[in-house]
Amino acid sequence: MKKILILVLASLMLVSAMALVGCGEDETAKPTAAPTQAPTQAPTQAPTQAPTEAPTPEPTQEPITYKINYVTDGLFALYEGTFNTLTGFNDTDFWDDLSGNEHHIEYLENDGEGLFFEEGKGLYTNAKEVAFPESIVEMINLNNYTVELKLSDLEVLGANFATLINNHGSTNAGNDQFALFIRNSTGDIEFKNGSGNARPKKADGINLVSGHTITIAFNLEEGFCRMYSDGVLISEEVPATGMGVNLLMFVGHSQSTKSFAAYIQSIRFYDRALTEAEILQNATVEAGVSIN
């Protein structure tokens, strides 16, 4: 009996020992994945840009200091054919006012054939019109002014007239109240000034105009409209009314009945009527503008 009890106890102790051994075994650890490191991207190098070369500035003409040799008192606008920009001569498509009043002709249709500037001769026009700025009309309508025109190599093309300065043309429905022209039927140089006023006129117009300075001096208040050639009075009338010019004035003419060809050397506008002495002084100036 005692032996049986000892065997039972031994069996129980064996079972307990086996249970303890089973409990003490470690669980099989799951394999641990090595930490995945994000692939290192090689630093992107900024594209190398070729060095930009600074643009070469266009050459600019230095301003020119010039002297006006005409009478300057009352000079409203001055257009010179051989000194046609503020920096001297240039065959351009504009015409600068040299008086300092900035009444510039901002555009003219320089086509190299019927209208262009030629150094030493002036603006050549062959049945082409060059419009003056509106400020010229406004000044003329104050009824106290002088207009001076010098041209050369005049050729009459119009069937009826050679209209030198006008305010009515093929593209300008003006009222034709300012018209300095040569009438073909008589050969007279004639000036239409306003509506109904007597017109100064003189025979042998082509020879009085071509290569010479034609001057119109108008003063309604003092009662005269005078025409001069090279400073010599050739005709005078007494105006009864003012000018009343509408729309733009221009030099040259494109109408087939009024056209001409010539080199325009100088056009001057004054906001007063010059005296005879001043008109003669302007007519004898050899170079209207000179470089200081």
The answer to whether residue 64 sits within a structural domain is no
Judge whether 19 and 11 are in contact, CB under 8 Å.
no
Residue 24 has pLDDT above 80, yes or no: no
Which residue segment(s) compose the domain that 281 sits in?
A: 74-291
Binned at pLDDT 50, 70 and 90, residue 169 comes out as confident
pLDDT for 174: 87
The answer to the question of residue 16 being in a domain is: no
Using alpha carbons only, how large is the chain's radius of gyration in Å? 48
CA separation for the pair 51, 151 (Å, rounded): 56
Q: Is residue 15 part of a domain?
A: no
The predicted pLDDT at position 13 comes to 54
Asked if residue 37 is part of any domain, the answer here is no
In a domain, 50, yes or no: no
Q: So what's the pLDDT on residue 168? A: 87
Beta strand extents in 122-231 (DSSP E only): 122-126, 130-131, 144-156, 161-166, 178-183, 189-193, 201-202, 212-219, 224-229
Q: What is the CATH number of the domain that holds 107?
A: 2.60.120.200
pLDDT 10s digits, 219-276? 999 999 999 999 999 999 999 999 999 999 999 999 999 999 999 999 999 999 999 9
Q: What is the pTM of this model?
A: 0.79
∠ CA 189-190-191, nearest 5°, is 140
Residue 41 lies in a domain: no
Q: Is the pLDDT of residue 94 over 90?
A: yes
User: Could you identify the residue written with the tokens 């089973």?
Assistant: 22
* Separation between Cα atoms, residue 283 and residue 183, nearest integer Å: 24
Is 120 inside any structural domain? Answer: yes
> What confidence tens digit (pLDDT) does each residue in 177-218 have?
999 999 999 999 999 999 999 999 999 999 999 999 999 999
End-to-end CA distance of the chain: 153
Domain count, the chain: 1
**Within-domain flag for 277:** yes
- The answer to whether 190 touches 182, Cβ cutoff 8 Å, is yes
